């Protein structure tokens, strides 16, 4: 059995689920394959109606889902409500694609011949999602897979199984035929069995770059389509003409929202030397004032890390940073006083005197930790921002429109913000990154490119043999 526990009070068991082994994965994939022929022939607008009904149901249950999420993975209730709202927005957005699964028509080079393209579903999709956005991210994957005519086997994260199961239950209760959406619970072995199953045609994975590499290799061996959304080491650039109060607000939200457990977290702050000291002082003051606590309490600013292993990982970077010569300006330790000692709380941490090549400035920490790096000008700041293996999100604070547009052009990330932090993506725009962040696919807008195959159709009504490129 998998136990879901409250990271704010580890003694509290939220839910228990049976761990799926090879036989359960086999049953789920078989059910999806059996359901696919009928589901793919269901008109797309009818498939979309299920998503519309699910959006209404989730909106009605928003508070209950948000509270379950907070109990299960720790984020503060305000953010959990936003997570659920994102799923509502995504379901409604993707439901609209049920009447917009557009192809193309184009003139043929031959007379009396018609040419067009249509989208076809891929087949059985494995959707493997992380614990940090346990309703929003499943909606990014499952909704487009379903509206495109695919069937799904969904594996929620083992640290957030209950809210993932509830999301699936709502979808199934809104009119999905049996077998169209299936759920398996488990950890790495369950995920590996699902990825390697020959009955799975496509794998959509969000998680660490290390695991994503293993998924890609396994899929390549069977020529499966794979969509990867992985890590980030995102930077906010603060210029000397920036509104510093606004930039500090953005840095605090970007670095410490969800206790830093976001792929888009602002884990690097690249600051012009002229304002470096003032910005750092303001940031440290704000970080020290953040209130740790149970996310269900409205006064809490920062909730716990998801489990003990994550706390130990985050804490290990304090020593790594100190050995490299960085200075811990605040935080850098677990919170051990009652009642925080009942969970996995870590104090918001700011590293100063950081060099761009340090491990703390290169590796994804995934906790309430950020490092402040000085830069002499915009060109150096952009070079530092681009100088990591990841390319998910970046941001620039400036009042200079010329600087803004140079940064928009030269920052090598899938998402760029001006005068806001590196978090805050909207569902109707593409979400994803470059380099080790992803493999070229996007979620949100254009997500159907991952979940459909293009089919080209020709109809020759000339009544005679016509040879393309020859009979012109």
Same domain, 215 and 251: no
Same domain, 325 and 218: no
Here the tokens at position 450 are 């991952």
In a domain, 89, yes or no: yes
Same domain, 8 and 111: yes
Same domain, 340 and 449: no
> Can you give the pLDDT of all 472 residues of the chain as single tens digits?
999 999 999 999 999 999 999 999 999 999 999 999 999 999 999 999 999 999 999 999 999 999 999 999 999 999 999 999 999 999 999 999 999 999 999 999 999 999 999 999 999 999 999 999 999 999 999 999 999 999 999 999 999 999 999 999 999 999 999 999 999 999 999 999 999 999 999 999 999 999 999 999 999 999 999 999 999 999 999 999 999 999 999 999 999 999 999 999 999 999 999 999 999 999 999 999 999 999 999 999 999 999 999 999 999 999 999 999 999 999 999 999 999 999 999 999 999 999 999 999 999 999 999 999 999 999 999 999 999 999 999 999 999 999 999 999 999 999 999 999 999 999 999 999 999 999 999 999 899 999 999 999 999 999 999 999 998 7
Same domain, 190 and 136: yes
The CATH number for 216's domain is 3.40.605.10
Chain-wide mean pLDDT for the chain? 97
What is the distance between the alpha carbons of residues 119 and 133, in angstroms, rounded to a whole number? Answer: 29
In a domain, 463, yes or no: no
CA distances from 245 to 281, 283, 329, 398 (A): 12, 10, 19, 12
* Residue 229 is among the residues annotated as catalytic for this protein: yes
Same domain, 32 and 76: yes
Phi, psi of 322, rounded to the nearest 5 degrees = -65, -40
The CATH number for 287's domain is 3.40.309.10
Q: How many domains does the chain have?
A: 2
Same domain, 335 and 395: yes
* Tens-place pLDDT, residues 216-258: 999 999 999 999 999 999 999 999 999 999 999 999 999 999 9
Same domain, 70 and 87: yes
Q: Which of 24, 72, 97, 229 is catalytic?
A: 229
Same domain, 149 and 279: no
Same domain, 166 and 282: no
Are the CB atoms for 287 and 331 separated by under 8 Å? yes
Q: Length of the chain, please?
A: 472
* Residue 330 is among the residues annotated as catalytic for this protein: no
3 state SS of 293 = coil
Are the CB atoms for 449 and 441 separated by under 8 Å? yes
Q: Which of 125, 127, 219, 263 is catalytic?
A: 263
Same domain, 77 and 161: yes
Same domain, 45 and 178: yes
Are the CB atoms for 247 and 278 separated by under 8 Å? no
Which secondary structure element, helix H or strand E, spans residue 113, and what is its range?
Answer: strand 113-121
* Tens-place pLDDT, residues 412-434: 999 999 999 999 999 999 999 99
Per-residue pLDDT at 88: 98
Give the predicted TM-score (pTM) of the model: 0.95
Per-residue pLDDT at 471: 84
Cis peptide before 339 (omega within 30 of 0): yes
What residue numbers bound the domain in which 382 lies?
Answer: 235-418
Instruction: Please spell the DSSP secondary structure of 204-254, one letter per residue.
Output: EEES-HHHHHHHHHHHHHTT-EEEEE-----EEEE-TTS-HHHHHHHHHHH
3-state helix, strand, coil in the chain (%, to 5): 40, 20, 35
């Amino acid at each position: 059995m998998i136990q879901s526990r409250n990271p704010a009070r580890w003694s509290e068991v939220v839910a228990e689920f049976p761990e799926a082994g090879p036989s359960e994965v086999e049953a789920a994939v078989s059910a999806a394959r059996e359901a696919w022929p009928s589901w793919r022939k269901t008109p797309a607008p009818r498939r979309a109606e299920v998503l519309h009904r699910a959006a209404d149901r989730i909106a009605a249950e928003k508070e209950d889902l948000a509270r379950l999420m907070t109990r299960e993975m720790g984020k503060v209730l305000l953010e959990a409500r936003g997570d659920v709202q994102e799923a509502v927005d995504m379901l409604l957005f993707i439901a609209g694609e049920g009447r917009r699964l557009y192809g193309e028509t184009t003139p043929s080079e031959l007379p009396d011949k018609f040419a067009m393209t249509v989208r076809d579903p891929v087949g059985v999709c494995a959707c493997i999602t992380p614990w940090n956005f346990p309703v929003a991210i499943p909606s990014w994957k499952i909704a487009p897979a379903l509206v495109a005519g695919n069937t799904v086997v969904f594996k929620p994260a083992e640290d957030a199984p209950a809210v993932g199961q509830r999301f699936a239950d709502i979808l199934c209760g809104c009119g999905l035929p049996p077998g169209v959406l299936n759920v398996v619970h488990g950890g790495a072995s369950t995920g590996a069995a699902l990825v390697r199953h020959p009955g799975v045609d496509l794998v959509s994975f969000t998680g660490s770059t290390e695991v994503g590499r293993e998924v890609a290799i396994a899929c390549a061996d069977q020529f499966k389509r794979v969509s990867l959304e992985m890590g980030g080491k995102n930077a906010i650039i603060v210029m000397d003409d920036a509104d510093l109060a606004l930039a500090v607000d953005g840095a605090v939200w970007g670095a410490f929202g969800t206790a830093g457990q976001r792929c888009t977290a602002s884990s690097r702050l690249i600051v012009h030397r002229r304002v470096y000291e003032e910005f750092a002082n303001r940031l440290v003051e704000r970080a020290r004032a953040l209130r740790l606590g149970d996310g269900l309490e409205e006064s809490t600013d920062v909730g716990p890390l998801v489990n003990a292993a994550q706390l130990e990982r985050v804490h290990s970077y304090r020593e790594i940073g100190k050995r490299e010569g960085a200075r811990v300006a605040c935080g850098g330790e677990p919170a051990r006083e009652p009642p925080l000692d009942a969970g996995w709380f870590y104090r918001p941490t700011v590293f100063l005197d950081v060099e761009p090549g340090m491990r703390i400035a290169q590796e994804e920490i995934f906790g309430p930790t950020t490092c402040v790096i000085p830069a002499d000008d915009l060109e150096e700041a952009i070079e530092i921002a681009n100088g990591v293996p990841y390319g998910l999100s970046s941001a620039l604070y400036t009042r200079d429109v010329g600087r803004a547009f140079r940064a928009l052009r030269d920052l090598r990330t899938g998402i760029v913000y001006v005068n806001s932090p590196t978090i805050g993506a909207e569902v109707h725009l593409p979400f994803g990154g470059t380099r080790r962040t992803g493999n070229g696919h996007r979620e949100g807008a254009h997500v159907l490119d991952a979940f459909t195959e293009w089919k080209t159709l020709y109809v020759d009504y000339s009544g005679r043999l016509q040879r393309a490129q020859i009979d012109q």
